[in-house]
A and B are shown apart, each in its own frame.
Chain A
Amino acid sequence: DGGITQSPKYLFRKEGQNVTLSCEQNLNHDAMYWYRQDPGQGLRLIYYSQIVNDFQKGDIAEGYSVSREKKESFPLTVTSAQKNPTAFYLCASRGGGLATSDTQYFGPGTRLTVL
């Protein structure tokens, strides 16, 4: 089944702990993205990567880190420096390299709750 997988669907962590969210895609897409969504709000871009071994900060990168060692994988680490980490995290990917009008496809999301 082709697509984007995020695991786990629900994640609980204690305050002060780092946590890594998984995102894998088998669509052979070059670009991958991480968004955060808070209740009743739209999505906000955390980080994105256009190609392997390269990534850029989005609008709310503070307290987060990413890596892009493989084309298929773009894990997001929520560090203890992120002041309000409880949120719904969405990963997306896009094909076509730097081409315009390419569509982003989203994974099912991970709901992170920090206790």
Chain B
Amino acid sequence: DAKTTQPTSMDCAEGRAANLPCNHSTISGNEYVYWYRQIHSQGPQYIIHGLKNNETNEMASLIITEDRKSSTLILPHATLRDTAVYYCIVSSGGSNYKLTFGKGTLLTVNP
């Protein structure tokens, strides 16, 4: 599976949009981009995933560049409860489906 690069930490003001970047320049054509987040001492929570097109759900939006070498997770109106470590993962799925978690980005939402 392709490796991802994320900033170690980011800050965001409450109520503003949080934009979390992820580089995955070695992504292959059949690999999806997944985003999870982990609040301290809890299990990771699935947020969103995509292959080529931009995706949106009730939690966030995922913007994938046309060359698929990078993506951005957008939390449109960050709240204090969005403070967490956010993981960007690429995976091809299939019979050996597994997710490889890096260290992620610690997003701190400030009041």
Which residues of A are interface residues toward B (Cβ below 8 A)? 4, 31, 33, 35, 40-45, 48, 50, 58, 88, 90, 92, 94, 98-109, 111
Per-position binary interface string of chain B over residues 40-81, scored 1 when its CB falls under 8 Å from any chain A CB and 0 otherwise: 011111100101000000000000000000000000000000
Cα distance A40–B30 when bound, in Å?
Answer: 30
Contact B97 A102 (CB under 8 A): yes
- For residue A33, which residue of chain B has the nearest CB? B98
Residues on B with C-beta less than 8 A from A111 are 41
Contact A105 B46 (CB under 8 A): yes
Cα distance A101–B101 when bound, in Å?
Answer: 16
Contact A90 B46 (CB under 8 A): no
Residues on A with C-beta less than 8 A from B98 are 33, 45, 48, 58
A27 to chain B, nearest CB (A): 13
A25 to chain B, nearest CB (A): 12
Contact A101 B43 (CB under 8 A): no
Interface of chain B, main secondary structure: loop
Contact A90 B43 (CB under 8 A): yes
Residues on B with C-beta less than 8 A from A108 are 42-43
Residues on B with C-beta less than 8 A from A99 are 93
Contact A42 B41 (CB under 8 A): no
Contact B103 A104 (CB under 8 A): no
Contact B97 A94 (CB under 8 A): yes
Contact B103 A40 (CB under 8 A): yes
Residues on A with C-beta less than 8 A from B41 are 88, 109, 111
A75 to chain B, nearest CB (A): 17
Cα distance A111–B41 when bound, in Å?
Answer: 9
Other than the known A92-B43, A108-B42, what 19 A-B pairs have Cβ atoms closer than 8 Å? A31-B97, A35-B101, A41-B103, A42-B102, A42-B103, A43-B101, A45-B98, A58-B98, A90-B43, A90-B44, A100-B30, A100-B32, A101-B32, A103-B46, A103-B49, A104-B46, A109-B41, A109-B42, A109-B43
Cα distance A98–B30 when bound, in Å?
Answer: 14
**Known: A33-B98, A58-B98, A106-B43. Contact between A100 and B103, CB under 8 A?**
no
B53 to chain A, nearest CB (A): 13
